[in-house]
């Protein structure tokens, strides 16, 4: 875990937020490679959800919404609250289900637990009174339910169909922890599948399988993923059934995504509270939800891909530990790097710059001229860069370059005008 945290910072994936001010309670910033990787994860999800044969369209609802939404959804009541305990001695606060009977910080005993609501509160407008209270959304899907009719009518959809959304969500977690696993600000990718109640079980199985296959396809080993049928007494207030998809994180098996049968909880409650008719052909459609965190996904893909190879790879290995980020090519933050063999030959540098200009408009591309070629390869392997393109003396005569593959380390000569389809 510690290695992943320091690697993520050193190589520009994840920085602690507000670091020069001492940080800010479990908030993180995503660096240049982090944003590229997250974009790739989101694109992979979006493409798999909205571009396939399933009948799914996307929306992007606002984070601030009418507070009545959170009354209707049940998030302002006890259902969306954690047990909070406070140490009588050091007054540190903990989530009741995360601790035993003694304070882990000082050994003191706890107060009786009380309910703590997780909604993040703010005020909208210049007056901070009860009438201006609003909430940062705690799950993105509520923006989907309240747009159910808009989407259905504007897109002339018929049940069954789905609505997908990617966006930030906020929860005032009592004990955010484990790097980007549990934070107060995070990003969700959620899809709500509206179907008739009689088809709900069938679609639940369909979506669970499809979601598991998404991870396998992107390189998660089957032995690191499992499902957990949430027992009835642990179900969230809205759920009729829930299966967690769990990943074997460095700190143990934990939920990465939930597949939920939300029944007609959301549409019927929004109809009741808003007075709108949200029925479809006389009934409330059931909702099968797939709910997934970008941050947990990113963590899992990094953990899965991070490899330390003792003594290095290949014959030019430097006998030290080499790091290789063996990440799926679709998720790799940098696809290709252009390396002039030497940096003091203006002709080679000029040619390398031309190759860089050609590639960078097509894919995320780095230009790197410092250090030996071997060292540059090591640096690129570390960030999972898929191909390295070396411009050498021969390139000046034959308009070809050497392309090296990250995983096999095999090299091939490729004509510059064929490069885009060969990296
Ligand atoms: N709409 C249903 C819903 O939000 P959830 O199980 O509370 O269900 C779904 O959350 C997913 O959102 C989780 O599986 C996780 O990936 C992500 N998530 C939830 N809380 C999080 C937090 N505090 N930090 C990071 N990700 C979180």
Phi, psi (5° rounding) for residue 388?
-120, 135
Atom of ligand 1 minimally distant from the CA of 291: 9
pTM listed for this prediction: 0.95
Distances (CA, A) of 252 to 121, 247, 420: 32, 8, 41
The Cα 47–Cα 217 span in angstroms is: 13
Question: pLDDT at position 318, please?
Answer: 62
Give every residue of the chain whose pLDDT is below 70, as ranges: 314-319
Question: Is residue 304 lining ligand 1, measured as CB closer than 6 Å?
Answer: no
Tell me, in angstroms, the distance from the centre of ligand 1 to residue 188's CA: 7
**Which of 172, 186, 236 is the best mutation target for the ligand 1 pocket, counting ligand atoms within 8 Å of the beta carbon and taking the most?**
186
Question: Is residue 392 lining ligand 1, measured as CB closer than 6 Å?
Answer: no
Tell me, in angstroms, the distance from the centre of ligand 1 to residue 248's CA: 17
The Cα 26–Cα 176 span in angstroms is: 6
User: Residue whose CA is closest, atom 25 of ligand 1?
Assistant: 182
Atom of ligand 1 minimally distant from the CA of 181: 25
Q: Which of 178, 152, 182, 157 is nearest to 169 (CA)?
A: 182
* Strand spans (E) along 56-205: 56-58, 81-86, 93-95, 114-117, 120-123, 133-136, 161-170, 185-195
User: Residue whose CA is closest, atom 6 of ligand 1?
Assistant: 258
Atom of ligand 1 minimally distant from the CA of 138: 4
Question: pLDDT at position 407, please?
Answer: 95
Tell me, in angstroms, the distance from the centre of ligand 1 to residue 291's CA: 7
Question: pLDDT at position 316, please?
Answer: 59
Question: Is residue 295 lining ligand 1, measured as CB closer than 6 Å?
Answer: yes
Can you read off the two tokens belonging to residue 201? 């079980």
- Map tokens 């960030």 to a residue: 383
User: Residue whose CA is closest, atom 11 of ligand 1?
Assistant: 292
**Which of 75, 212, 296 is the best mutation target for the ligand 1 pocket, counting ligand atoms within 8 Å of the beta carbon and taking the most?**
296
Question: Is residue 243 lining ligand 1, measured as CB closer than 6 Å?
Answer: no
For residues 159 and 194, is the Cβ–Cβ distance under 8 A?
yes
The Cα 220–Cα 296 span in angstroms is: 13
| pLDDT (tens digit per residue) in 363-377 | 999 999 999 999 999
Q: Give me the half-sphere count of Cα atoms (radius 13 Å) on the Cβ side of residue 308.
A: 6
Question: Is residue 402 lining ligand 1, measured as CB closer than 6 Å?
Answer: no
Question: pLDDT at position 315, please?
Answer: 64
User: Residue whose CA is closest, atom 2 of ligand 1?
Assistant: 291
CB atoms within 10 A of CB 354: 13
If 0-12 CB within 10 Å is exposed, 13-18 middle and 19+ buried, where does residue 87 land?
A: buried
| pLDDT (tens digit per residue) in 147-203 | 999 999 999 999 999 999 999 999 999 888 899 999 999 999 999 999 999 999 999
Tell me, in angstroms, the distance from the centre of ligand 1 to residue 307's CA: 27
If 0-12 CB within 10 Å is exposed, 13-18 middle and 19+ buried, where does residue 151 land?
A: middle
Tell me, in angstroms, the distance from the centre of ligand 1 to residue 256's CA: 8
């Amino acid at each position: 875990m510690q290695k992943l945290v320091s690697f993520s910072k050193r190589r520009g994936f994840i920085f602690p937020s507000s670091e020069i001010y001492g940080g800010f309670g479990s908030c993180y910033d995503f660096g240049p490679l982090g944003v590229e990787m997250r974009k790739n994860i989101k694109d992979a999800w979006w493409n798999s959800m909205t571009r396939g044969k399933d009948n799914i369209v996307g929306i992007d609802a606002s984070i601030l919404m009418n507070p009545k939404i959170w009354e209707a959804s049940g998030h302002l009541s006890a259902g969306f609250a954690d047990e909070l305990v406070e140490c009588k001695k050091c007054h540190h606060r903990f989530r009741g289900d995360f601790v035993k009977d003694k304070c882990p910080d000082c050994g003191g005993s706890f107060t009786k637990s009380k309910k703590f609501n997780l909604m993040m509160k703010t005020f909208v407008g210049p007056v901070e009174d009860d009438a201006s209270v609003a909430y940062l959304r705690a799950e993105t899907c509520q923006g989907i339910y309240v747009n159910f009719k808009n989407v259905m009518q504007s897109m002339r959809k018929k049940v069954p169909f789905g609505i997908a959304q990617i966006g930030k969500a906020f929860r005032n977690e009592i004990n955010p922890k484990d790097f980007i696993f549990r934070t107060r600000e995070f990003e969700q990718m959620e899809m709500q599948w509206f179907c008739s109640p009689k088809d709900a079980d069938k679609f639940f199985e369909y979506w669970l399988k499809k979601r598991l296959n998404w991870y396998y396809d992107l390189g998660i080993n089957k032995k690191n993923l499992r499902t957990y049928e949430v027992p009835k007494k642990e179900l969230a207030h809205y759920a009729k059934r829930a299966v967690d998809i769990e990943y074997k994180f460095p700190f143990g098996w934990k939920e990465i995504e939930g597949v939920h049968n939300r029944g007609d909880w959301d549409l019927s409650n929004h109809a009741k509270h808003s007075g709108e008719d949200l029925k479809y052909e006389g009934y409330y459609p059931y909702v099968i939800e797939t709910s997934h965190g970008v941050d947990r996904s990113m963590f899992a893909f990094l953990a899965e891909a991070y490899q330390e190879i003792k003594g290095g790879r290949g014959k030019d290995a430097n006998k030290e530990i080499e790091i290789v980020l063996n990440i799926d090519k679709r998720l790799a933050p940098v696809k290709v790097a252009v390396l002039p063999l030497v940096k003091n030959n203006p002709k080679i540098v000029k040619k390398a710059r031309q190759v860089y200009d050609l590639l960078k408009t097509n894919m995320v591309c780095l230009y790197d001229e410092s250090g030996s070629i071997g060292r540059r390869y090591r640096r690129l392997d570390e960030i999972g860069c898929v191909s390295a393109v070396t411009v050498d003396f021969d390139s000046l005569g034959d308009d070809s370059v050497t392309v090296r593959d990250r995983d096999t380390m095999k090299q091939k000569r490729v004509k510059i005008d064929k490069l885009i389809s060969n990296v």
